[in-house]
Amino acid sequence: MTEFIVHDDPVGRTQSNYIARADLARFGLDGQMEQLWLKPLNDGTFSVACIPFRVYGLALGDRVLLSADDSISEVVEFSRHRVLRMLLMPSPDPTRLTGATARIKHEIDAAGLLSEWSGDRHVAVDVPPRTTPSQLFEVMEREVAEAGAFWEWADAMPFSAPG
């Protein structure tokens, strides 16, 4: 059975969006697919219209091609945006998680960045070119040190489609 990672509120959602899949098996997540929102362009390519939660090597605004089965097959052009992702750890103290989430949301808003949440513990943040959200990094590093949170850049591995 395949688990689908979905975007409930994609940042680039419009009436003309298209949904495609990215197989996460190449990234060590066997049995998982991420549904990505795409904006059709006039040349047969699509622009990524959401902030990827789990797929590596893709970011908001990247131009991609699709295979016949509506899977992303390759990146045609990179937008130069980056995706900063964080997974917060569950806590026996519910106020701990609520406070951490509030601090992260505050710093994302203060930096003028776009983000998407998957549940209440996993956030993906769009980081445009020439942007350094240092205050957000500080809040995230605090969560790593104090609560064992995990963060990563989505471009830590290149995108690859099943061969």
The CATH number of whichever domain residue 131 belongs to comes to 3.30.70.600
Where does residue 22 fall: left (phi above 0), alpha (psi -120 to 50 degrees), or beta otherwise? beta
Q: Residue 161's closest CA among 3, 2, 27?
A: 27
Structure tokens at 91: 């806590």
Domain boundary among 23, 49, 77: 77
Same domain as 152, residue 86 = yes
pLDDT of the chain along its 163 residues, tens only?
Answer: 888 899 988 999 887 788 999 999 988 888 999 999 999 999 999 999 999 999 999 999 999 999 999 999 999 999 999 999 999 999 888 899 999 999 999 999 999 999 999 999 999 999 999 999 999 999 999 999 999 999 999 999 999 877 6
In a domain, 163, yes or no: no
Domain final residue pick, 77, 106, 128: 77
Query: Residue 138's domain spans which residues?
Result: 82-156
Give the whole-angstrom CA distance, residue 134 versus residue 121.
21
Question: Which of 77, 103, 126 corresponds to the end of one domain?
Answer: 77
Total count of domains within the chain: 2
Measured distance CA(148)–CA(145) in Å, rounded: 6
Cα–Cα distance measured from residue 135 to residue 56, given in angstroms and rounded to the nearest whole number: 24
